[in-house]
Amino acid sequence: MPDDIGPNAIGEAERTDATAHAALRELIALVDLPASMAAHARIVGGEPVIPTRYRVGTAGAAALAATGLAAAELWRLRTGRQQTVEVPMRPATISLRSGRYMRINDKPPGREWDPLSGFYPTRDGRWVMLHTNFANLRDAAARVVGTPVDRDAVTKAVAGWDAEALETALHENGACGAFARTHAEWAAHPHAIAIRDLPVVEIIRIGDAPPQPLPEGPRPLSGVRALDLTRVIAGPTCARTLAEHGADVLKISRADLPHSGELDLETGIGKLSAHLDLRDPAQAETLRGLIRTADVFSQSYRPGALAARGFSPEAVAALRPGIVCVTLSAWSHAGPWRNRRGYDTIVQTSTGMAHASGVEGKPQHLPVSAIDYVSGNLMAFGAMVALTRRATIGGSWLVRVSLATTGRWIVDRGVFAAVQVDGLAADLPDDEIAPLCTEVDAPDGRIRYLSPIVRMSETPPHWDRPPVPLGYHQAVWPG
């Protein structure tokens, strides 16, 4: 590792980060783009930025730069003009927890974590993380351990379980939790072995269709319609990224499903939002109608969930030849855990990241949701690359990303020595964050949010629509 990497390096603002550029070149090669594209992107500044030994800024900046290059390539197809892309490392790093910086009428969003969520010691001297941020998961976890929804009662009950046995019981009974393994334990796990060689983003042709030129418009994704059937952070980040380059994004959710509260505003910037219940045949037909004139169909439900309703990628491509389907799963489409629930924190815990970040023997999560945000940007990168393929060679396309493969990709970037992160401030100073933010008037009041991080020389990314509550609009495309 170069000696000059650190918070006080000379020329920090101007220096191009070689490690991040190597990660960007890896992503470009992975989707068969010309290696020369990397010359049009610049990642400036270095790591570490915040106190974690993982190179989260490297991964985040590379994924953001990849989205910028993919958007720039769509612009080149429209106009014949090449533009440049720049990603500053420090803002890219904090964008991996962008919800922290949102303000609603000058107030931060509501509680991020349910009181029952967190790490619990087990009988065998290990730790299990319970994820209870949705009421159904909270209630299921309490049923598994046989207690009321009470932290003290759950702590006492979990102490009577062995860690791996509890993890299995949680997933077999509709709850969500993870045994805090070491990196070595995860590497030897059957699921880790099953997905070890899967790429971090896959783009697969799933149908035939003639080439479809991009519609006219002033931005890379002008006229492109994207359906967003995703939840929590990673999936919504994908569609939000498409919106920042000009796509018309329509988020579809169901009124009675658990949601992320005010944090859904932050991932909903730039989108329309409507409710549909796919259990109702008429509303399912409404979605089919939307698909027939859509360009992107993005979903993050567990594998097979939408297929059971008739909306598998192949069925969607049959409805709309030439569509780009984007899927996010927790554990990928392969391996024994492919149907398990999972979230960023669960993947961190299962795969060794939380153990390696622990303090005094207790696991600890990263200070940013790197797996979520990097996954979302990789989804958007894959979607835009697939749209380029559709415009040039035709076809219907499937883009696959999983939290588990993203987590592995982040770990593969390497780690810093402890001395390089000790003493780093937990956050950027307020006077550095404020210029990175935008304020808009929205239905829920005055909203401040972190602006797009990617800088482009000809089509600066921005959002045209303010964030709205879930279900605010009708399920129709804008005129």
Residue 390, in any domain of the structure:
yes
**56 residue type, one letter:** V
- Give domain status of residue 167, yes or no: no
The pLDDT of residue 301 is 84
Q: Is residue 477 part of a domain?
A: yes
Within a domain: 122: no
Write down the pLDDT at residue 15: 57
Contact 402, 195 (CB under 8 A): yes
Query: Residue 229 in contact with residue 238, Cβ under 8 Å?
Result: no
- Tokens 């409507």: give the residue: 274
Q: Please state, in angstroms and as integers, the Cα–Cα distance from residue 329 to each residue in 30, 153, 234, 305, following that order.
A: 19, 32, 10, 11
Residue 27 identity (one-letter amino acid): L
Which parts of the chain register pLDDT below 50?
1-13
Q: Which residues span the domain enclosing 345?
A: 1-104+197-434+447-479
Of residues 63, 54, 1, the one with CA closest to residue 26? 63
Domain-located, residue 339: yes
pLDDT at 16: 63
pLDDT given for residue 59 in this prediction: 97
Residue 59 lies in a domain: yes
Closest CA to 323 of 346, 345, 298: 298
Angle at 273 between CA 269 and CA 276, to 5 degrees: 150
Q: Is 332 exposed, middle or buried (0-12, 13-18, 19+ CB in 10 A)?
A: buried
CATH code, domain carrying 294: 3.40.50.10540
Total of domains in the chain: 1
Sign, CA torsion 299/305/310/312: positive
Query: Is residue 288 included in any domain, yes or no?
Result: yes
Q: What is the pLDDT of residue 11?
A: 39
Query: What angle do the packed helices 56-79 and 18-30 form, to 10 degrees?
Result: 50
Paired strand residues for 299: 229, 327
Question: Which pLDDT value is given to residue 389?
Answer: 98
- In the numeric block, the tokens 């796919």 are attached to 278
For position 8, what pLDDT does the model report? 33
The answer to whether position 140 is within a domain reads no
pLDDT of residue 10: 29
DSSP state of 84: -
